[in-house]
Amino acid sequence: MTHHEVEKYRKPIRILHWIHSGAFVLLFLTGLILFIPGLGFLAEDSWTRVIHRIGAAIFIVIPIIYLIINPRSVARGLKLAFTWTKDDIGWLKAAPRYYFLGDEKDMPPQGEMNTGQKMWWFIVVVFGVLFVITGVVMVFAKTTASPAVLQWMVFIHDVSFIVSGAMLFVHIYLGVVHPLMTDAWSAITGGKVSTEYAKKHHAKWYAEVSKGKE
């Protein structure tokens, strides 16, 4: 790492991101086939169900392994994501002008995670848990749970699919396409962002990590 760069994501969390998101994309696509009636013919021999269950197993097991190996990283991430201050409220107000018009004058300084990233964490954690609980009930209590309970499981699973699927497009758009997020892709692939990017997008975090170095 040169002195023009700052480490944003360490290797284990990048590996977690890509295996976990790979599983999610697999679940999303095979789920779409099960969800849209017109595509039902693709599910006829049930191979989509098999892939959906393999994807689900990876989606569940990988974060558990990460949690066992690196509990402090998980605790740290949750703490960052669920700690909100007045700067987050300021971000919510200023964000539309920033993301749509490139006007950054009202954007409050951000920590290691900006407010948008905190919201994505929230969605990933809450809907991840809902997906897993409802999915496990549907697989393991198919014959023992009452039809009303199973109906609820399907409904919650479907709502989670619609909300988190829509937000995934926002996540990919901001991370890969948006012209102002220049170093997001290199952060999640190689781990680093430039010091200029860190200063501009995560001023409070940059002040912490650069303390005593400049």
- Give the helix/strand (H/E) hosting 6: strand 5-7
Establish if 52 lies at the interface with ligand HEM (CB under 6 A). Answer: no
Question: Taking Cα atoms as reference points, which of 180, 178, 208 lies closest to residue 7?
Answer: 208
What Å distances lie between residue 197 and 132, 162, 213, CA to CA? 36, 33, 17
- Binding residues for ligand HEM, total number by CB under 6 A: 20
In the bound state with ligand HEM, the residue whose beta carbon lies nearer, of 175 and 190, is 175
Establish if 76 lies at the interface with ligand HEM (CB under 6 A). Answer: no
Applying CB under 6 A, which part among 34-42, 44-52, 97-105, 180-188 lies near ligand HEM? Answer: 180-188
Structure tokens at 27: 């679940």
Residue ranges in 150-169 that form contacts with ligand HEM under rule CB under 6 A: 168
Task: List all residues 6 or more positions away from 175 whose beta carbon is below 8 Å from its beta carbon.
Answer: 181, 184, 185, 188
Say how many C-beta atoms besides its own lie within 10 A of residue 127's C-beta. Answer: 19
Residue ranges in 27-46 that form contacts with ligand HEM under rule CB under 6 A: none
- Taking the C-alpha atoms of residue 20 and residue 60, their distance in angstroms, rounded to an integer, is 9
**Helix intervals (H) in 70-202:** 71-82, 86-101, 115-140, 147-172, 184-189, 195-201
Q: Residue 6 pairs with which residues in a beta bridge?
A: 193
User: What is the closest distance, in whole angstroms, from the C-beta atom of residue 77 to ligand HEM in the complex?
Assistant: 8
* Contacts with ligand HEM, 115-134, as mask; x by CB under 6 A: --x--xx--x----------
Establish if 84 lies at the interface with ligand HEM (CB under 6 A). Answer: no
In the bound state with ligand HEM, the residue whose beta carbon lies nearer, of 16 and 33, is 16
Structure tokens at 67: 């949690």
Establish if 24 lies at the interface with ligand HEM (CB under 6 A). Answer: yes
User: What is the closest distance, in whole angstroms, from the C-beta atom of residue 113 to ligand HEM in the complex?
Assistant: 6
Establish if 17 lies at the interface with ligand HEM (CB under 6 A). Answer: yes
Which position among 176, 177, 178, 180 is part of the footprint of ligand HEM (CB under 6 A)?
Answer: 176
**DSSP reduced 3-state for 100:** helix
User: What is the closest distance, in whole angstroms, from the C-beta atom of residue 161 to ligand HEM in the complex?
Assistant: 12
User: What is the closest distance, in whole angstroms, from the C-beta atom of residue 96 to ligand HEM in the complex?
Assistant: 18
